[in-house]
Chain A
Amino acid sequence: MIQGVANTSAVVVGLGEYHVTKDPSLQLVCLGIGSCIAFAAYDRLSGVAGLAHFVLPEGAGRTTAANETRFIDTGVPFVLEALRSAGAIQSRTVFKIAGGSQMTVARGFESKLNIGERNAEAIEQAMSLTRFTISSTDVGGSQGRTVRLDVATGKILVSKVGGAPYEL
């Protein structure tokens, strides 16, 4: 049960994982996202919701059946198919993304720390290959985010350290 939200249970979507559901008692959560991308989808009429936690822009030849939702290039089509299979009509599904932070700007980390920026570019690129658009984004910066998708309403709340949660 989630504090302050009656009859709602949290499903934590971990690194490289995704969850698609129609269960309105659930809240899908990506905790402490830094350079990763939280990819949220919601079809209000069918009630199908999905949340994916992508880690890297592409698998660079290392993608397998077990890890394709770790990478954005293979993960986006995979999750879109999972949403369709669950009953979502993709033309009316709303897609939103959050994450892609650069956690530090310290000297010597440039090559590793542009993962967040590359992830943000990769998700835009992956979606541009589909018929669908991302309606709302909250990417970049240098802070981590926690992203919560309420399946009953489709409402997405983003929270950062030291700030009040805001709706995406």
Chain B
Amino acid sequence: MTVKLDGGAWAGLVERGTSRAIENLSQMVGQTIEVSSFRMKSIPIRDIASLVGGADTLAAGVYLTVSGGADGHLMLIYEPSIACQFVDLLMMQPANTTTSLGDMEQSALGEMGNVVGASFLNVLADEMRMDLRPSPPAVMIDLAGALLDIIAADLLLVQDEAFVAETTFSAPDREVSGMFFVMPSAGLLKALSEWENAA
């Protein structure tokens, strides 16, 4: 199934969802975190890993699936050193306290995924009047290509290109930035297309 979106209304919807997610993340850590950039793009699925520096790049990913009325994938992805900085923010510790990502640190990153994923999907679900639920988060630290294989395998069954909403965010007092990827599967793309046509 090929779904074409004009990138107008649904991009706005995804951007609103992302902004809400980052706002809630900011409240969670008690510090200002701002969206630095937001881009929607369609790229060949085989090139997804290039968005995070290549398939052989070490990365920390927090992955959630979307289920309910339609399905898709959400992933927060960071350089591991940046993930450590986020753990410090989440655990209200001085910068550079965290130097490795053990079980407790991964649990903190997973909680971050919960907040971002649920906040984002709430906006989409409200506006689209659709049941959209996040899975529990899975935290992975490995080669970026391996992290993204799960998503690529699902999408490549039915499509060659992935619509990707790529958001970078940062905090003013620390060197933290990350990416939040939204990759709708065919069902969610269709729902977004229908929503866009009705908007």
Taking Cβ atoms with an 8 Å cutoff, the residues of A that contact B are 14-17, 31-36, 55-56, 59-60, 62, 67, 70, 101, 103-104, 106-109, 112-113, 115, 143-146, 161
> Is B65 at the interface (CB under 8 A from chain A)?
yes
B63 contacts A31, C-beta separation under 8 Å: no
Nearest B-chain residue to A143, judged by Cβ: B142
CB distance from A57 to the nearest CB of B (A): 10
- Chain B contacts with A in 48-80, Cβ cutoff 8 A: 49, 54-58, 63, 65
B135 contacts A108, C-beta separation under 8 Å: yes
Nearest B-chain residue to A15, judged by Cβ: B46
List, in ascending order, chain B residues with CB within 8 A of A15's CB: 45-46, 152, 156
Nearest B-chain residue to A14, judged by Cβ: B46
A55 contacts B147, C-beta separation under 8 Å: no
Determine the distance from Cα of A103 to Cα of B153 in the docked complex, in whole angstroms. Answer: 13
Determine the distance from Cα of A103 to Cα of B62 in the docked complex, in whole angstroms. Answer: 12
Extra A-B contacts (7), CB below 8 Å, given A34-B148, A113-B150, A144-B143: A32-B146, A56-B157, A67-B156, A106-B136, A106-B138, A108-B138, A145-B146
In this complex, the member of B54, B157, B158 whose beta carbon has the largest number of chain A beta carbons within 10 angstroms is B157
A31 contacts B65, C-beta separation under 8 Å: no
List, in ascending order, chain B residues with CB within 8 A of A106's CB: 136-139
- Chain B contacts with A in 113-151, Cβ cutoff 8 A: 135-150
List, in ascending order, chain B residues with CB within 8 A of A161's CB: 58, 141-143
Q: Given that A115-B150, A146-B56, A161-B58 are known contacts, is A31 also in contact with B145, CB under 8 Å in the complex?
A: yes
- Chain B contacts with A in 63-116, Cβ cutoff 8 A: 63, 65
Determine the distance from Cα of A36 to Cα of B153 in the docked complex, in whole angstroms. Answer: 8
B56 contacts A55, C-beta separation under 8 Å: no
> Is B194 at the interface (CB under 8 A from chain A)?
no
List, in ascending order, chain A residues with CB within 8 A of B153's CB: 35-36, 55-56, 112, 115
> Is B175 at the interface (CB under 8 A from chain A)?
no
Q: Given that A60-B157, A115-B150 are known contacts, is A104 also in contact with B63, CB under 8 Å in the complex?
A: yes
A109 contacts B135, C-beta separation under 8 Å: yes
Determine the distance from Cα of A14 to Cα of B45 in the docked complex, in whole angstroms. Answer: 10
Minimum-distance CB pairs A-B, first 7: A32-B145, A144-B146, A34-B146, A34-B149, A32-B55, A32-B143, A106-B138
List, in ascending order, chain B residues with CB within 8 A of A115's CB: 149-150, 153
B143 contacts A31, C-beta separation under 8 Å: yes
Contact of B145 among A16, A33, A62 (CB under 8 A): A33
Determine the distance from Cα of A145 to Cα of B145 in the docked complex, in whole angstroms. Answer: 9
12 chain-A/chain-B pairs, Cβ below 8 angstroms: A14-B47, A31-B49, A32-B56, A32-B57, A32-B147, A34-B149, A55-B149, A56-B157, A112-B65, A143-B142, A144-B146, A144-B149
